[in-house]
């Protein structure tokens, strides 16, 4: 069997799967050929170039079977908690309980892409007055109405305050439709004023102690709700263990990212790394399995790095990517254009940073929630992007706007200017809809121009 | 330079006055200029002439002042806010997806040479980011002057912690005002100012039926600055009779006030202004005893819990308030005024239509870039005032 690392199509994966099986591939119970997902409606896979490793096969299968996993958990009597908007904090609390499965309903925003609009979720959102002036997260509304994608959660939480108006408005509509929501507040993070006690947050930001105390009190309300729903106490001891487990995942992902961003030859395509990063938000509804999946990827990437092999040319231009793409295919386009991802900020960097384990757990979680890049100013976010892009040697930066997202309207300008001024690298801002086929020539041309510009700068 | 410009009803003018500073309600023009307190343009006025030196769009991604407006044509002068006093435009890539109000606000704030500070709240995500944008570029444009204060207004409102957060934010705002030269008020001073404002609001409410929709809206806008006795602001007298209507929605740009005239010209009578600058967002009446006990707490409670709004989670109180007021005023039709890219009010359109016992008319606006650049005329979803006028006239015809 040829073990050369490369990106292959789903058609090529049919043969590759047979080869892996013949070579003794051992798969978890959700394993199987990728073709079955295409047959089941995940049509976007036909347009993607995917990594050809067994580890990536496991990753894709893990991602694409999440709905089955949620339905099974529900059938087994587990409590299902939908954690909207906070991107990584409440799930840690939920997974500290042994009979709770948490998931991120906002994750439905990728369903229109994966199904190439086959699920009809956006049409339902349209019919409820949430049209395409909203972020694609509006697909979540359709998923709740249809009730076929994921089971209706027993408990729904949503963080509001310093969050995007899209999710806030859509969650309010869900509430109006009869889905009760526990709203919890996260205030706009600000630097401490003179005389206020500063608190260092994971990731390097700081906030006044009063804000941390406030968020902690809000998370206490969430804890009360989780305890009531799960009918078991969520003790500090359980939370400590939960944080330890979450940190284990975060550390593994951190190692994977570092390897991918710093390797001489890109060892893993941007698409698979994006999905791996996304696992961190709610562990794709199975925290233990997330660790296994990331361990496999880490082992594969480590092997490739040690052997000096990868999926792209060694001279690929190093690009830092800001914001997740609504259409996964665009990550392929970057690589087709001669770029590679050497750093990312997908709006949840607070879910990547280790949670302090030397603090009372609720205090640690409050600090983590306040470290959310969307909760602070765009300048804060740009600061971190500059630091990471500089650290990983980015030669260019792409800001991928999310159509309709309230935060995207202005932040790109601030981030772009700061990056230009500090790092002196070219910046490109693009907008990516859920299925970007009609825009592909334009996107391709712009990404190629960015790569060519960065390449030319090498020669100067 | 003791004016504090603000545009959110969650900024209590009493608190600013009590610190010895002057609040000013900022009503942005669509072109990015500003109105001192209340708009004065009329529907039948011709569009303002383009400035002699129309602003140039900045380079993509650049926040720097437009070329040609630097040394030879300082972007901030003159200071009289005349139509020719055009602020630098935001860069082109800020236009996409930006709510026209937020964009006009940024431009107005940059053009404002009178304010000692500008206050923005977190009630709207785009405005929250606008505050960040201003904080980034305003010092450069104003030689380090004109700081921006971002007041945290919680979306949740049912918990004691949320109320306390708002109260603490007012205290922080107070410290900011002191840094600007204000003086921290004694409880007695604050109480006196609060009662002055309350009297002015009560007097204004009594005049509502004697004023046209525009006059009443202008009077409320003035009240969010210094309290003054209600005055005749000119313009058309209130219509006698007419179909009682409500207007609901977010903030209004100056040009949007034309809608208030249009309603009355078409045979309606505006009996309820529930836009962000209207009656809906006047605070609850103060309790005299609670003022005596703790005036700041009473001030915070009256504003934080007394103003129903769409951004609140949940936003049930908005509908309770609307239901109560619409019934009391026998409202027969509702106009929703919202901007494209305003997620919060856009989402309410569907619910309002489902909930309202009377017909609802959507009047969305996007303010095309050409309108922003070239004049201060009214441009709505179809690009013309005539379109909205036609919709309103048809609405009236149906309601008759």
Nearest to B93 among A130, A134, A429 (CB): A429
Pair B108, B18 in one domain: yes
Looking at the complex, report in whole angstroms how far the Cα of residue A131 sits from the nearest Cα belonging to chain B. Answer: 9
Residues in Cβ contact with B46 at an 8 Å cutoff, skipping those fewer than 6 apart:
none
In a domain, B289, yes or no: yes
Instruction: Decide if B156 and A168 are in contact by the 8 Å CB cutoff.
Output: no
Q: Is the peptide bond before B99 cis (omega within 30 degrees of 0)?
A: no
Pair B222, B167 in one domain: no
Residues in Cβ contact with A40 at an 8 Å cutoff, skipping those fewer than 6 apart:
none
Pair B169, B260 in one domain: no
Q: Annotate A189-218 with DSSP letters as a single string.
A: P-PPPTTSPEEE-TTS-EEEHHHHHHHHHH
Looking at the complex, report in whole angstroms how far the Cα of residue A135 sits from the nearest Cα belonging to chain B. Answer: 10
Nearest to B313 among A172, A377, A410 (CB): A172
Pair B231, B110 in one domain: no
Give the pLDDT score at B255: 86
Q: Which of residues 73-102 of B touch A (CB under 8 A)?
A: 90-91, 93-94, 96-99, 102
Measured between beta carbons, the chain A residues lying within 8 angstroms of B344 are 165, 168-169
CB of B180 within 8 Å of a chain A CB? The answer is no
Structure tokens at B284: 């609850």
CB of B177 within 8 Å of a chain A CB? The answer is no
Pair B250, B303 in one domain: yes
Nearest to A413 among B63, B126, B311 (CB): B63
Instruction: Decide if A187 and B124 are in contact by the 8 Å CB cutoff.
Output: no
Instruction: Decide if B129 and A407 are in contact by the 8 Å CB cutoff.
Output: yes
> Stretch B273-301: mean pLDDT, rounded?
97
The helix (H) or strand (E) run that includes residue A339 is strand A339-345
Report the length, in residues, of chain A. 460
Q: Give the pLDDT band (50/70/90) at residue B5.
A: very high
CATH number of the domain that B250 lies in? Answer: 3.40.50.11900
Give residue-wise pLDDT tens across range B12-55: 999 999 999 999 999 998 655 545 443 332 222 223 333 333 22
Give the pLDDT score at B325: 98
**CB of A387 within 8 A of CB of A393?**
no
Place of tokens 């709006």: A347
Q: Annotate A103-148 with DSSP letters as a single string.
A: E-GGGGGGHHHHTTTTT-HHHHHHHTT--TTS-GGGHHHHHHHH-S
Instruction: Decide if A413 and B175 are in contact by the 8 Å CB cutoff.
Output: no
Longest Cα–Cα distance in chain B: 59
In a domain, B192, yes or no: no
**Angle of helix A329-336 versus helix A440-459 axis, rounded to 10:** 40
Query: How distant is the alpha carbon of residue A419 from its chain centre?
Result: 22
Looking at the complex, report in whole angstroms how far the Cα of residue A252 sits from the nearest Cα belonging to chain B. Answer: 34
**CB of B373 within 8 A of CB of B31?**
yes
Give the pLDDT score at A369: 98
Q: Which of residues 202-241 of B touch A (CB under 8 A)?
A: none
Structure tokens at A247: 């940190």
Instruction: Decide if A129 and B63 are in contact by the 8 Å CB cutoff.
Output: no
Give the pLDDT score at B38: 39
What is the domain extent for residue B322?
205-399
Neighbouring C-beta atoms of residue A192, cutoff 10 Å: 15
Residues B337, A51: Cα–Cα separation, whole Å: 50
CA nearest A404 in B: which residue? B97
CB of B150 within 8 Å of a chain A CB? The answer is yes
Give the pLDDT score at B234: 57
Pair B141, B266 in one domain: no
Give the pLDDT score at B143: 61
In a domain, B184, yes or no: no
Looking at the complex, report in whole angstroms how far the Cα of residue B316 sits from the nearest Cα belonging to chain A. Answer: 9
Give residue-wise pLDDT tens across range B153-165: 999 999 999 999 9
Place of tokens 């080869």: A19
- How big is the CA angle at A119 (ends A100 and B347), to the nearest 5 degrees? 80
Q: Which of B144, B179, B214 is the last residue of a domain?
A: B179
In a domain, B188, yes or no: no
Give the pLDDT score at A232: 97
Pair B169, B300 in one domain: no
Nearest to B343 among A158, A160, A169 (CB): A169
Pair B18, B150 in one domain: yes
Pair B220, B344 in one domain: yes
A·B CB contacts under 8 A: 157
Looking at the complex, report in whole angstroms how far the Cα of residue B241 sits from the nearest Cα belonging to chain A. Answer: 34
CA nearest A381 in B: which residue? B132
In a domain, B194, yes or no: no
Looking at the complex, report in whole angstroms how far the Cα of residue A164 sits from the nearest Cα belonging to chain B. Answer: 6
The helix (H) or strand (E) run that includes residue A178 is none
Pair B171, B225 in one domain: no
Looking at the complex, report in whole angstroms how far the Cα of residue B392 sits from the nearest Cα belonging to chain A. Answer: 21
In a domain, B189, yes or no: no
Residues in Cβ contact with B17 at an 8 Å cutoff, skipping those fewer than 6 apart:
B23, B193, B196, B197, B226, B227
Measured between beta carbons, the chain B residues lying within 8 angstroms of A164 are 125, 343
Give the pLDDT score at B236: 59
Number of helical (H) and strand (E) elements in chain B, helices listed first: 14, 10
Where does residue A172 rank: exposed (0-12), middle (13-18), buried (19+ CB within 10 A)?
buried
Per-residue pLDDT tens listing for chain A (460 residues): 667 999 999 999 999 999 999 999 999 999 999 999 999 999 999 999 999 999 999 999 999 999 999 999 999 999 999 999 998 899 999 999 999 999 999 999 999 999 999 999 999 999 999 999 999 999 999 999 999 999 999 999 999 999 999 999 999 999 999 999 999 999 999 999 999 999 999 999 999 999 999 999 999 999 999 999 999 999 999 999 999 999 999 999 999 999 999 999 999 999 999 999 999 999 999 999 999 999 999 999 999 999 999 999 999 999 999 999 999 999 999 999 999 999 999 999 999 999 999 999 999 999 999 999 999 999 999 999 999 999 999 999 999 999 988 888 788 888 999 999 999 999 999 999 999 999 999 999 999 999 999 999 998 7
Residues B246, A277: Cα–Cα separation, whole Å: 49
In a domain, B96, yes or no: yes
End-to-end CA gap in chain B: 51
CA nearest B168 in A: which residue? A210
Give the pLDDT score at B65: 29
Measured between beta carbons, the chain B residues lying within 8 angstroms of A175 are 314
In a domain, B198, yes or no: no
Question: What are the two backbone dihedrals, phi and then psi, of residue B62, each rounded to the nearest 5 degrees?
Answer: -90, 140
Q: From the candidates A167, A410, A423, A450, which should be mutated to test the interface with B, based on the most B CB atoms within 10 A?
A: A410
Q: Is the peptide bond before A56 cis (omega within 30 degrees of 0)?
A: no
Question: What are the two backbone dihedrals, phi and then psi, of residue A156, each rounded to the nearest 5 degrees?
Answer: -120, 130
Q: Is the pTM of this model over 0.80?
A: yes
CB of B259 within 8 Å of a chain A CB? The answer is no
Residues B141, B144: Cα–Cα separation, whole Å: 8
Residues A292, A31: Cα–Cα separation, whole Å: 13
- Which of B254 and B10 is assigned the larger pLDDT? B10
Measured between beta carbons, the chain B residues lying within 8 angstroms of A417 are 61-63
Give CA separation, A12 vs A18, A252, B199, in Å.
10, 29, 78
Q: Which of B179, B213, B241 is the last residue of a domain?
A: B179
CATH number of the domain that B158 lies in? Answer: 3.40.50.11890
End-to-end CA gap in chain A: 43
Instruction: Decide if B155 and A183 are in contact by the 8 Å CB cutoff.
Output: yes
Pair B278, B353 in one domain: yes
Place of tokens 């991120």: A104
User: For the CA atoms of chain B, what is the radius of gyration?
Assistant: 20
CA nearest B92 in A: which residue? A413
Give the pLDDT score at B374: 37
Instruction: Decide if B311 and A416 are in contact by the 8 Å CB cutoff.
Output: no
Instruction: Decide if B98 and A409 are in contact by the 8 Å CB cutoff.
Output: yes
Neighbouring C-beta atoms of residue B222, cutoff 10 Å: 21
Query: How distant is the alpha carbon of residue A61 from its chain centre?
Result: 17
Longest Cα–Cα distance in chain A: 67
Pair B254, B332 in one domain: yes
Instruction: Decide if A160 and B172 are in contact by the 8 Å CB cutoff.
Output: no
**Residues B73-82: contacts with CB under 8 Å, at least 24 apart:** B75/B110, B75/B141, B76/B110, B76/B111, B76/B113, B76/B141, B76/B142, B77/B113, B79/B113, B79/B114, B81/B33, B81/B34, B81/B35, B81/B36, B81/B111, B81/B112, B81/B114
Residues B101, B27: Cα–Cα separation, whole Å: 10
Give CA separation, A352 vs A248, A349, B174, in Å.
11, 5, 37
**CB of A253 within 8 A of CB of A279?**
yes
Q: Which of B245, B216, B271 is nearest to B335 (CA)?
A: B245
Number of domains in chain B: 2
Q: Give the pLDDT band (50/70/90) at residue B340.
A: confident
**CB of B13 within 8 A of CB of B198?**
no
Give the pLDDT score at B213: 94
Structure tokens at A396: 């260019």
Nearest to A413 among B61, B125, B311 (CB): B61
**CB of B118 within 8 A of CB of B140?**
no
């Amino acid at each position: 069997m040829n073990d050369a690392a490369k990106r292959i199509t789903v058609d090529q994966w049919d043969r590759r799967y047979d080869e892996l099986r013949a070579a003794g591939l051992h798969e978890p119970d959700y394993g199987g050929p990728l073709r079955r997902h295409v047959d089941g409606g995940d049509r976007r896979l036909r347009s993607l170039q995917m990594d050809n490793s067994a580890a990536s096969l496991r990753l894709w299968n893990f991602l694409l079977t999440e709905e089955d996993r949620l339905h099974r958990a529900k059938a087994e009597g587990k409590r299902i908690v939908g954690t909207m908007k906070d991107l990584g904090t409440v799930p840690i609390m939920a997974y500290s309980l042994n009979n709770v499965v948490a998931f991120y309903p906002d994750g439905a925003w990728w369903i229109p892409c994966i199904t190439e609009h086959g699920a009809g979720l956006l049409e339902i959102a349209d019919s409820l007055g949430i049209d395409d002036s909203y972020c694609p997260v509006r697909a979540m509304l359709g998923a709740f109405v249809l009730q076929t994608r994921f089971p209706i959660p027993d408990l729904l939480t949503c963080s509001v305050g310093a969050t995007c108006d899209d999710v806030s408005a859509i969650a309010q509509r869900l509430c109006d439709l009869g889905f009760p929501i526990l709203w919890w507040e996260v205030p706009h993070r600000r630097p401490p004023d003179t005389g206020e006690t500063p608190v260092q947050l994971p990731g390097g930001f700081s906030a006044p102690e009063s804000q941390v105390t406030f968020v902690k009190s809000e998370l206490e309300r969430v804890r009360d709700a989780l305890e009531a729903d799960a009918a078991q106490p969520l003790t500090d001891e359980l939370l400590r263990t939960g944080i330890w487990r979450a940190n284990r995942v975060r550390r593994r992902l951190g190692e994977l990212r570092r390897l991918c961003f710093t390797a001489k030859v890109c060892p893993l395509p941007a698409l698979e790394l994006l999905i791996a990063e996304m696992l961190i938000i709610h562990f794709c509804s199975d925290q233990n399995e997330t660790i296994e999946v990331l361990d496999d990827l880490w082992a594969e990437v480590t092997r490739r790095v040690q052997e000096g092999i990868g999926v792209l040319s060694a001279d690929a231009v190093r690009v830092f990517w800001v914001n997740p793409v609504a259409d996964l295919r665009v990550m392929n386009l970057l690589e087709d254009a001669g770029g590679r991802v050497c750093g990312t900020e997908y709006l949840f960097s607070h879910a990547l940073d280790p949670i302090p384990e030397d603090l009372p757990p609720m205090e640690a979680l409050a600090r983590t929630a306040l470290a959310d890049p969307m909760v602070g100013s765009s300048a804060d976010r740009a600061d971190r992007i500059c630091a990471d892009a500089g650290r990983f040697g980015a030669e260019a930066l792409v800001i991928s706007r999310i159509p309709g997202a309230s935060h995207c309207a202005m932040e790109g300008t601030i981030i772009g200017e700061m990056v230009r001024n500090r790092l002196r690298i070219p910046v490109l801002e693009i907008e990516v809809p859920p299925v970007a086929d009609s825009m592909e020539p334009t996107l391709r041309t712009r990404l190629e121009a960015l790569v060519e510009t960065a390449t030319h700068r090498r020669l100067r | 330079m003791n004016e504090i410009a603000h545009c959110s009803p969650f900024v209590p003018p009493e608190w600013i006055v009590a610190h010895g500073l002057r609040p000013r309600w900022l009503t942005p023009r669509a072109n990015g200029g500003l109105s001192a307190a209340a708009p004065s343009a009329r529907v039948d006025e011709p569009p303002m002439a383009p400035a002699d030196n129309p602003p140039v769009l900045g380079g993509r991604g650049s926040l720097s002042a437009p070329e040609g407006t630097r040394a030879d044509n300082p972007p901030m002068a003159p200071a009289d806010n005349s139509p020719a006093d055009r602020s630098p435009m935001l860069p082109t890539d800020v236009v996409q997806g930006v709510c026209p109000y937020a964009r006009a606000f940024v431009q107005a704030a940059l053009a404002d040479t009178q304010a000692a500070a500008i206050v923005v709240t977190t009630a709207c995500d785009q405005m929250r980011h606008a505050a960040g944008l201003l904080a980034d570029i305003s010092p450069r444009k104003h030689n380090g002057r004109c700081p921006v204060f971002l007041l945290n207004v919680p979306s949740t409102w049912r918990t004691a912690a949320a109320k306390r957060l708002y109260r603490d934010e007012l205290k922080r705002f107070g410290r900011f005002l002191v840094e600007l030269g204000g003086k921290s008020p004694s409880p007695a001073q604050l109480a006196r100012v609060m009662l002055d404002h309350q009297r002015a609001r009560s007097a204004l409410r009594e005049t509502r039926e004697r004023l046209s929709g525009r006059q009443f809206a202008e009077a409320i806008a003035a009240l969010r600055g210094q309290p003054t006795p209600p005055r005749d602001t000119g313009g058309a007298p209130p219509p006698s009779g007419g179909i009682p209507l409500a207007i609901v929605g977010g903030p209004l740009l100056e040009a949007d006030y034309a809608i208030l005239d249009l309603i009355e010209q078409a045979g309606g009578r505006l009996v309820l202004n529930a836009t962000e600058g209207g009656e809906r967002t006047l605070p609850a009446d103060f309790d005299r005893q609670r003022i005596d006990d703790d005036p700041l707490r009473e001030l915070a409670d009256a504003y934080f819990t007394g103003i129903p709004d769409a951004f609140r989670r949940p936003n049930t109180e908005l509908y309770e308030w609307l239901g109560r007021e619409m019934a009391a005023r026998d409202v027969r039709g509702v106009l929703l005024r919202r901007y494209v890219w305003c997620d919060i009010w856009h989402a309410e359109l569907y619910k309002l239509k489902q909930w309202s016992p009377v017909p609802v008319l959507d009047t969305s606006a996007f303010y095309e870039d050409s309108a922003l650049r070239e004049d201060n005329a009214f441009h709505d979803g179809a690009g013309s005032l005539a379109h909205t006028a036609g919709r309103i006239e048809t609405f009236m015809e149906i309601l008759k």
